[in-house]
Amino acid sequence: MAESQGPAQRLFTAGKRLLGSLLATGETRLRLAVLELEEERARLVTLLLLAGLSLLLLLLGLAVLTLLVVVMFWDSHRLVAIGVCALVLLGSGAALALWVRQLARRRTLLVSTLKHLATDRELVERSRHD
């Protein structure tokens, strides 16, 4: 049957097959991107809940510890105790803020999708040069 088709018909058929392949590949990559976005969303929700709970517990623990230190030194050096506690808390907070900023700069969103798209582009470039 392919022999009975003219050159224009064969070109049209090849174009349809190529378009179908491109659409199938695009659909696969889109599904992968959606799956990664859903996983990232679930991971972020879990992280936010755990971070909020740990932040609350740490805050309560630091408040009680600070109160204990101030009460221990109330008679002799209460202002020094309050100042040292404040400096320790502020220094720890600044260090944690820098660490969080460094973690936030990491790119994890759609890493797998971008890797697969780069592989696809590489294969297309290789096939052009062959």
pLDDT digits (tens, 9 = 90+) for 4-33: 677 888 888 888 888 888 888 888 888 888
pLDDT digits (tens, 9 = 90+) for 70-98: 888 888 988 888 888 888 888 888 898 88
pLDDT, position 57? 86
The rounded distance, in Å, linking the Cα atoms of 47 and 45 is 5
Other Cβ atoms less than 10 A from the Cβ of 32: the count is 16
